Amino acid sequence: TGYALEKKVVKSKLGEKVGLPCCHEIPSSESLHNYRVYWQTNTTEVVLAYAEGKEISKHKRYENRTEMDSRNFTLWISPVEILDNGPYQCVVQHKSSQNSFVLCDETVTLFVTADFSKPNITADVSTYSCESTEMVVSCSSHGGFPKPKISGTLNNVSVVWNISWVSESSFSPYNITGELRLNVTKDVSITCSVEYNGFAKSTSLLLKKTNNCIVPTVPPSYNVITASSIIIIIFLLAITLAARYLPRRGKCSSFFK
C-alpha cells in the first residue's frame, strides 16, 4: 500500500493498492449528501465525482479500479498503473440551504515505481595473451520504472558504464544495459547496481584472467641439425666397416699358425 510524504506526495509500486488523501473529513454529525467531491487529474480530467451522496462521474480509464471513502474522501486506486503517475486534485464543496462553497482544494502527487529485475552480468573475451585478457562486460536489467541509472565498481573502485535504455514510451517500463571494455591483467571483482527512485539492486561477478598460455617448443637451428646428421652418418659407416673387416683379419691369423 502506498504512503504519504508530507501529505503532498504518495509513492506506490506498480500493481499495488494506494490511497490518495483528501483535505477534508466529514464530521460524524453530517452526511455525504451535503457535499460535492471532485477528484481530478491535470485539472481537467475528472477521475471521480460525488454529489448528494452518489457517484455522478468516473473516468473510463479508472473503471473498476477506484473507490472513494465516504468519510475522509480518500481516493483508492487498485491496481496502480504506471500511467497513474501525476498530480491529483481533491475539491470539496459544502452544500447549504442557500448556496455551495468550497471547503478545500488540495493537490497530491502520485509517484508510481516498478521494480527492476536483479542485474545480470556477462563477460565475453575478445582477445587474450599471457599478460592480459580483453573483455566486454555487460550488465542488464529490465521491467522497471522510472528511468534508472547504472553504477558499479571494479575491485571497489568506481567505473563508468556506457549505458543504453529501451522503453516504448515515457510511461512504459524500461530495459537498461551497461557495457564496459576491460583489459584484465589479474582476477578482479566487478559489481553492477541499477538505481531507481531511491531503490537499488546489485550483482557481483568475479572476472578471471585467461591463463592458458602454452610456451612453444623452440625448433633446433639448421646448423645443429646438420652437425647431428653428420655424426650419425659417420657412426653408421664405422659400424659397417667394422662388420666387414674384423672377421677377415681373424681367418688370416689362423692360416699362418
Mean pLDDT of 138-150: 95
The residue that leads in pLDDT, 7 or 92, is 92
8-113 and 117-207, same CATH topology: yes
Q: 151 vs 8, which has greater pLDDT?
A: 151
pLDDT tens by residue, 1-56: 554 444 589 999 999 999 999 999 999 888 889 899 999 997 678 999 999 889 99
Query: pLDDT per residue over 203-251, tens digit each?
Result: 999 988 876 666 555 555 555 566 666 777 776 777 776 666 665 554 4
Q: Is the pTM of this model over 0.75?
A: no
Domain 8-113 CATH class label = mainly beta
CB-CB contact of 121 with 190 (8 Å):
yes
The number of CA neighbours under 13 Å toward the Cβ of 243 is 6
d(CA 174, CA 149): 11
What residue spans define the domains of the chain?
A: 8-113, 117-207
Residue pair 163/176 in contact (Cβ under 8 Å)? The answer is: yes
H or E element in which residue 185 lies:
none
In our burial notation (b when 16+ CB lie closer than 10 A, e otherwise), range 62-88 reads beebbbbeeeebbbbbeebebebbeeb
State the average pLDDT for the chain.
85
Q: Give the integer Cα–Cα distance in Å for 215 and 235.
A: 34
**CATH class of the structural domain 117-207:** mainly beta
